[in-house]
Amino acid sequence: MRRAITTDYQLPLLPMLSALYETAGGTRLLDPEFILAQLDVEVDQHIGEFGCGGGGHFTFPLARRVGRGGMVYAVDVVPDVLESLRRRARVENLPQIQVIHSNLEVIGAAAIPEESIDRVLCVNILFQNIHHDHIFKEAQRLLKVSGKLLVVDWRQETGPVGPPLARRVNLEQLKAVASTIGLHFESEFSASVWHFGALFSRQ
């Protein structure tokens, strides 16, 4: 369960921003087209979206980018979330979306062929999990050689919205974890006012 936001800020937009955080972990504060451009998603690619959530904020833009020759594996641990995505994908006639029920902290649990994915997208899930190394290892297991992993999460600094500081991830620690399992850090960027983005590639 997500914890309540604590802040001393008094901003006109705070109620709206807080609602976006509470309902989607902050994902709706992000521009999907900008984020996906950093990941260089192309037609016919196979993409793993880790922790997709029920809103499809990235799932459906991904599906349209890869087209029917590609595949978007929408992975989440919550069955209701996946059923919501499955129904919407059917309505929007997007058969390239395949929902996968899995706990991303369990290496090997996702029913996706190893070394079959071109890109992995991991948005706003690390702050909700403990075993970041397990999530990275699962990405490494599924990625093709030279495939890319994009992590977007909350900056480790206080702000008007977002999780408590203690739950935010340290990017330098993520880089260290990645380097031990064959994921090379390539670049970082500002994903939003409150989020960092970090791009890794499988060696």
Instruction: Specify if 41 maps to a domain.
Output: yes
Look at residue 18 and tell me if it is in a domain: no
- Region 141-162: mean pLDDT is 93
**Mean pLDDT computed over 50-55:** 90
Concatenated DSSP letters of the chain = -PPPP------TTHHHHHHHHHHHTTGGGS-HHHHHHHHT--TT-EEEEET--SS-TTHHHHHHHH-TTSEEEEEES-HHHHHHHHHHHHHTT-TTEEEEE--TTSTT-S-S-TT-EEEEEEES-GGG-S-HHHHHHHHHHHEEEEEEEEEEEE-SS--SSSS-GGGSPPHHHHHHHHHHTTEEEEEEEE-SSSEEEEEEEE-
- Is 29 within the bounds of a domain? yes
| Total of domains in the chain | 1
Which pLDDT value is given to residue 16? 41
**Does the pLDDT of residue 59 top 70, yes or no?**
yes
Q: What is the pLDDT of residue 54?
A: 81
Mean pLDDT, residues 71-85: 96
Q: Would you place residue 27 in the very low, low, confident or very high pLDDT band (cuts 50, 70, 90)?
A: low
Task: Supply the CATH number for residue 52's domain.
Answer: 3.40.50.150
17 domain residue, yes or no: no
pLDDT of residue 65 exceeding 90 = yes
Higher-pLDDT residue of 9, 201:
201
Q: Which domain holds residue 46?
A: 23-202
